[in-house]
Each structure stands twice: as C-alpha cells, then as structure tokens.
Amino acid sequence: MAQQVKIHSDAVRSLAELLKETNLTEIEYKVDSLSIKVSQAVQQIVVPVAAQNQLQTTDQNQITETTTGNIQSSLESHPGVIEAQMVGTVYLSPGREASPFVSVGDAVSQGQTLFIIEAMKVMNMIKAPRSGIVKHIFVKDSQPVEYGDPIIIID
C-alpha cells in the first residue's frame, strides 16, 4: 500500500517565492524521505542591436570584423548573442569526460540544450531560443559568469 504524503502548500509557496527572488529556474528541498521540487520555465530574451552590419561570416563559420575597433565588443553586441540569465558556473558539456553540448559551426534546433549554468548547487539547462548555427562561444568550461555575460552566439 502506497504511503500517503501530505503536501505542505506553505513550503511550496515559500520555495516558489525564493525561486523568483533568486532568479533560479529550479529549487529542491529535501528532508528525510520528503522531497519538494519547484521549477519554472526559462525564457531567453534577445534584443536586436544595430551592430548587425559590423560582422560578416566567412566560409569557415568564423566571425570576422569588417570595421576597425574591438572584435570582442562587436561580438558581444551581435543580435544572436545568448547571455547568462543568472550568476553561476557555466558548463559546456554534461560531464567532465563528455562531449560539449554544442561547438562552433554546429546547427542547433530551438529548445536544444546549449550549456548548463550551476547556481547554488542547481543545474540549469539553458536551451536555444531559436534554431541556427553556433557562431562563437565566449566562455570556457567551468568558468564563472555574471548575469548578462555573453555566452554563445547563434546566427
């Protein structure tokens, strides 16, 4: 016979509020055999910038600067940049010995996992907001990131 578990709605509400306050996508609370997990969908918002004409793609799927100036700042203002939605550590693969989720030149589909950001021991899978080609990856595996840091460009 299955054990009846009482749902503690106040605990669920408190965890949901904590989720909002910390900008996490998922939080789990465990006590003995009781586990409460609260999660929310992540929505990536990309704001187009007028810097589109400053970049061009070569046949080797590398981005080159067509004007003088700083290449890094041109890349960071690219309209296809995906930014960190939280402070944490970015992981480009699901494990130490595993292949990366994506590499430069890969075609990705909307909803495909691009990378993970670990925040407060919670692994947040960051998914592609749209289909496209990975043009640039700004970070190295296990690198700390701040909210708004550029992580990857999908064109």
| pLDDT single digits (tens) 41-54 | 655 444 444 434 44
Whether 32 and 94 map to the same domain: the answer is no
Whether 147 and 121 map to the same domain: the answer is yes
Whether 55 and 18 map to the same domain: the answer is no
Residue 96 has a pLDDT of 84
Whether 63 and 129 map to the same domain: the answer is yes
Whether 81 and 21 map to the same domain: the answer is no
Whether 15 and 80 map to the same domain: the answer is no
pLDDT beyond 90 at 92? yes
Q: What percent of the chain has pLDDT over 70?
A: 67
Beta strands in the chain (DSSP E): 26-31, 34-39, 55-57, 63-65, 81-83, 88-91, 107-108, 113-119, 122-127, 132-137, 143-145, 150-154
Q: How many domains does the chain have?
A: 2
Residue 31 has a pLDDT of 75
Domain that holds residue 80: 50-154
pTM across the whole model:
0.53
Residue 1 lies in a domain: no
Residue 1 has a pLDDT of 52
Nearest to 115 by CA among 143, 75, 148: 143
